[in-house]
Chains A and B, each alone.
Chain A
Amino acid sequence: MNATSQTTATPTGSPYRLPAELNILLVLAGICLTFEILGWIMQGQSFLGNWQRLSIMILQVSVVGIIAIGVTQVIISGGIDLSSGSIVGATAMISMSLAQAAGYERAIYPELTGLPVVVPLLVGLLFGLICGIINGALIAYTKIPPFIATLGMMVTARGFAKWYTKGQPISFPTDSFAAIGKGMMPVFIFLAVALIFHVALKYTRYGKFTYAIGANPQAARVSGINVERQLVKIYAIAGLLSALAGIVVAARGLTAQAGMGTMYELDAIAMAVIGGVSLTGGRGSILGTMIGMVIFGVIISGFTFLRLDAYYQEMIKGVIIVAAVVADVYRQKKRKKA
Chain B
Amino acid sequence: MLDRTSAWQGEYILEADDITKAFPGVVALAGVQLRIRPGTVHALMGENGAGKSTLMKIIAGIQKPDAGEIRLRGQPVELDSPLDALEQGIAMIHQELALMNPMTVAENVWIRREPRNRLGLIDHARMNQMTRDLFARLNIQLDPAATVSELTVAEKQMVEIAKAVSYNSDVLIMDEPTSALTEREVEHLFAIIRDLKARGIGIVYITHKMNELFEIADEFTVFRDGKYVGTHASSDVTRDDIIRMMVGREITEMFPKIDCEIGETVLELRNLTLPGVFHDVSFTLRRGEILGLAGLVGSKRSNVAEAIFGVKPAASGEILIDGKPVRIASPAAAMGHGIAFLTEDRKETGCFLILDCLENIQSALITRSHVKAGMVQERQVRRLAEEMAAKLRIKTPSLHETVENLSGGNQQKLLIARWLLTKPRILILDEPTRGIDVGAKAEIHRLITGLAAEGVAVLMISSELPEILGMSDRIVVMHEGHVSGELARAEADQMRIMDLAAR
Contact = CB atoms under 8 A, between A and B. Distances in A.
Interface residues of A, number: 39
A223 B364 contact: yes
B400 A216 contact: no
A15 interface: yes
Chain B residues touching A, range: 35 or more
A9 B418 contact: no
Interface string B396-421: 11111010110000000000001000
A204 B375 contact: yes
B12 interface: no
- Which of B311, B331, B404 has its CB near the most chain A CB atoms (within 10 A)? B331
Contacts of B341: 222
B349 A219 contact: yes
B78 interface: no
B396 A222 contact: no
B363 A212 contact: yes
Contact of A9 (B350, B353, B394, B400): B394
Contacts of A335: 354, 402, 404
A206 to B, nearest CB: 6
A3 B443 CA distance: 7
Interface in A1-31: 1-3, 5-15, 17
Nearest to B351: A219
Contacts of A226: 330, 332
B399 to A, nearest CB: 4
A224 B368 contact: yes
B352 A222 contact: no
Contacts of B332: 224-226
A143 interface: no
A203 B376 contact: yes
Interface string A200-244: 100111101001100110111111111000000000000000000
A60 B126 CA distance: 64
Interface in B323-376: 330-332, 334-335, 341, 343, 348-355, 357, 359, 362-364, 366-368, 371, 374-376
Contacts of B400: 13-15, 17
A1 B309 contact: no
A310 interface: no
Interface stretch (B175-183, B269-277, B382-390, B453-461): B382-390
B171 to A, nearest CB: 36
A282 interface: yes
Given A9-B390, A10-B398, A204-B374, 10 more contacts: A1-B439, A6-B395, A9-B395, A13-B396, A13-B398, A205-B366, A205-B367, A205-B375, A215-B353, A218-B349
Interface of B: 309, 311, 330-332, 334-335, 341, 343, 348-355, 357, 359, 362-364, 366-368, 371, 374-376, 378, 385-386, 389-390, 393-400, 402, 404-405, 418, 437-440, 442-443, 446
23 contacts: A3-B443, A6-B395, A6-B443, A7-B395, A8-B393, A9-B394, A9-B395, A9-B396, A11-B389, A11-B399, A13-B397, A203-B375, A205-B375, A208-B362, A215-B353, A216-B349, A216-B351, A219-B350, A219-B352, A219-B363, A222-B311, A226-B332, A338-B405
